[in-house]
Amino acid sequence: MLLVLMFHHIYEVDTFQSYINYISDHYPVLTPGDTLPSDKLSICLTFDDAYFDFYHFVFPILQKRNIRAVLGVPVKFISDKTKIDIKKRLNSFKLVKNDMYIKKESFCTWQEIKEMAQSGLVKIASHSLSHQDLTIEGTDLEDEVLGSKKIIQQRLSQEVDTFIYPYGRVNRKVHSVAKRYYKYLMRIGSALNKDWHNSNNMIYRVNGDHLINKKSLNRVALFKYYLKYLLNTIRGK
């Protein structure tokens, strides 16, 4: 089975590093497309929104442990580069009203994203063009789904085969469009996964932002995630 953890920000660096150390010591840490061992749980680490704290805190941990992670990039909010100091960038990640980002310094730059992608430790995924709810009627799905992919590939000269649904929201129409352009599709589902596709070409993720402890991986928690996987499969969501 496969457990995909979703993170946004790193609030306590030491605690997070200890958690990652524990995970990498006890489980295979994989990214979409890697072969899943049949005899043990595998874990995939995903980080949404490409905030600067990923580059500043998480990327060095990945380098130290030599493990990989997925970074979801909301293309519209990424700048080429910045001269703003580190402290200000780390403290300016808040969302403002109407779910619109206005402080681009809180995100990684294309320069930083390219460095991480070229390291081989960070698999870049599209997190859409403008990080809006794709299920809203009138959304330009081709622009949000395919347009974002084209920009990332042009910027990085790398194939992008993974899409992360903004806010985890998806319906059949959105999913049918995304399936045309991506091999791996991720949403929030609070569930385990059978493999990288499951029965409906959807990878479920568990919110890990507030689960930075070993208890989140105990048998009781994993059993609940497995039951949710069965429910998601029955519901076809």
**Model confidence over 151-172: pLDDT tens digits?**
999 999 999 999 999 998 999 9
What per-residue confidence (pLDDT) applies to 96?
Answer: 39
Q: How much is the pTM?
A: 0.92
pLDDT 10s digits, 211-225? 777 777 888 888 888
CB under 8 A, 24+ apart: contacts of 120-123: 120/68, 121/59, 121/62, 121/63, 121/66, 121/67, 121/68, 121/69, 122/59, 122/62, 122/68, 122/69, 122/70, 122/71, 123/31, 123/32, 123/68, 123/69, 123/70, 123/71, 123/162
Task: With CA atoms as reference, report the closest residue to 187 among 172, 173, 166, 208.
Answer: 166
Whether residue 94 is predicted with pLDDT greater than 60 in this model: the reply is no
pLDDT 10s digits, 112-151? 999 999 999 999 999 999 999 999 999 999 999 999 999 9
What per-residue confidence (pLDDT) applies to 118?
Answer: 97
Give the chain's domains with CATH numbers. 2-235 (3.20.20.370)
- Give the SS3 label for residue 61: helix
pLDDT, mean over the chain:
90
Task: Work out the average pLDDT over 168-182.
Answer: 94
